[in-house]
Amino acid sequence: MSKTDKLFPKLKEMVGEANVIQDPEKLKAYAIDGKKPKVIVSPGTIDEVSKIVAYANQQHFIVIPRGNGTKMGMGGIPKKVNIILSTNRLNRITDSDSENLTLSAESGITLSEVQDSLAKLGRGYFLPLDPPFTNQATLGGIVATNSSGPKRLLYGAARDLIIGTKAVFPNGDMVISGGKTVKNVSGYDMCKLLIGSYGTLGILCEMTFKLLPLPEKEATLSLSFGKLEEADGFVRQLRISQLIPSSIEILNSIAVENMKYPRSMPQNGNYLVTVGLEGVTESIGRQVSEMSEMGKKNGVLETMTLDSDKHRAFWIALRNFSQGLSEKYPNFIGLKSNLLISKSGEMLGNYERIARESGIECAFICHAGNGILHSYILPGKNFRSRIESFVHFIGGLTSEAVKNEGNLVVESSPLSIKKKVDVWGQSRSDYLMVRRLKGQIDPAGILNTGRFVGGI
């Protein structure tokens, strides 16, 4: 009997037959970059995760953790896909302590489920994360990819909010780091090591986060500008002011046209700046007034304030921008650049210039307060005949980012593009350290091999 033949009964013994999928037709839906897994297994406890990983390590099976699949298109092409370990049954809130503003939850629960539960607790609380696809994205996937959204400006990313983890490492050991004490500083901080590691060092099973009370009011101020220099001038003035927005976004006209959102926002101009605000009602009213005056000094064409449902609908559409694109542009390419915050406007202008010179239609959304620029290549119907031009374009944007002390990663693309570019951009000096860590923690190379930086 082959190793694979022995695998199925062994997994069924560990988690029960109902939690193991080996039907070839069902497995097709779990393929990653065209590579179909041998089996899907859904453990219900951390102990079951530990047993599965320990066995896989012993038998040299590649294990790829998966939540609801919202992040599976990210990363490089996997070397193999033997076992997909689904975290969907690890979906419980294990501790909710509003008095100490902490929450512990398993990795397979979705962020929206957590937010709904917290909103009903006492005066109402929330986990200040707003990555894409909050209705589907699991906590484990969000933390493993360090996924964040526009509110990162005010609240930070996962590494600023997470204070404890329980994870299973490649040898099957459960490693606990941190805990409910916010100022826990004893021992090496394994939490930070696992955040953004794409499941290559350990499988996140449970996490503890810091919470905040729900704000009294939320609102959005939208301002349209004819020129990028005017939009950037407004943003620069806002960044050095005493005002405290939760998010600052700059969208070019192509991004605005492709947003799945009712058009109750400014229609004039070539650039839209949107500012998210949270806090007490009086403070928001004052900030809207001051920002509107600031906009007038920078050549604003039109301003509009969104409250309540319109405010929420706008930010959902913005965070989930790529989801709306997939219907119209099935071969769209999503890129993410990091850059100096002070150069946000300049880099957006440079990227637009490169796109015009390349004859490529591109939507740009810039987190102007965070130093993150999302670029979406809209290839149209002639995708196959233009693959080389898209590859060259990605290279041009990467060079521009590196030249300005940043980098670029390909977050989503057809396989034909992935085969021709390094999805992680230009290698940095810390790459060798990451490779050494992988070699020490996962010497057999069983966790998510091939998908992280440098193919580790």
Per-residue pLDDT of 208-225, as tens digits, reads 999 999 999 999 999 999
pLDDT at site 248: 98
pLDDT at site 179: 73
pLDDT at site 211: 96
pLDDT at site 45: 98
Please determine whether the domains at 1-214+428-456 and 325-418 fall in the same fold group of CATH: no
User: Which residue carries 């400006």 as its tokens?
Assistant: 153
Tokens for 207?
């996490």
Q: Fold for domain 217-319?
A: Alpha-Beta Plaits (3.30.70)
Percent of the chain with pLDDT over 70: 97
Q: Which of 102, 101, 197, 181 is nearest to 140 (CA)?
A: 197
**Does the structural domain 325-418 have CATH classification 2.60.40.10?**
no
pLDDT at site 366: 98
pLDDT at site 188: 53
Class of CATH domain 1-214+428-456: alpha beta
pLDDT band at 1 (very low <50, low <70, confident <90, very high): low
Residue 327 has pLDDT above 60, yes or no: yes
Domain parsing of the chain, residue ranges: 1-214+428-456, 217-319, 325-418
pLDDT band at 94 (very low <50, low <70, confident <90, very high): very high
pLDDT at site 12: 95
pLDDT at site 23: 94
Interval 370-384 mean pLDDT: 93
pLDDT at site 358: 96
CB-CB neighbours of 400 under 10 Å: 18
17 burial via Cβ count (<10 Å: 0-12, 13-18, 19+) = exposed
Residues 399-450: pLDDT tens digits? 999 998 999 999 999 999 999 999 999 987 777 888 898 999 999 999 999 9
Indicate the average pLDDT of the chain.
Answer: 93
Residues 152-203: pLDDT tens digits? 999 999 989 999 999 999 999 999 988 765 444 444 567 788 999 999 999 9
pLDDT band at 131 (very low <50, low <70, confident <90, very high): very high
Interval 9-26 mean pLDDT: 95
Residue 260 has pLDDT above 90, yes or no: no
DSSP secondary structure of 56-120: HHHHT--EEEESSSTTTTSSS--S---EEEE-TT---EEEEETTTTEEEEETTSBHHHHHHHHHT
Interval 71-77 mean pLDDT: 94
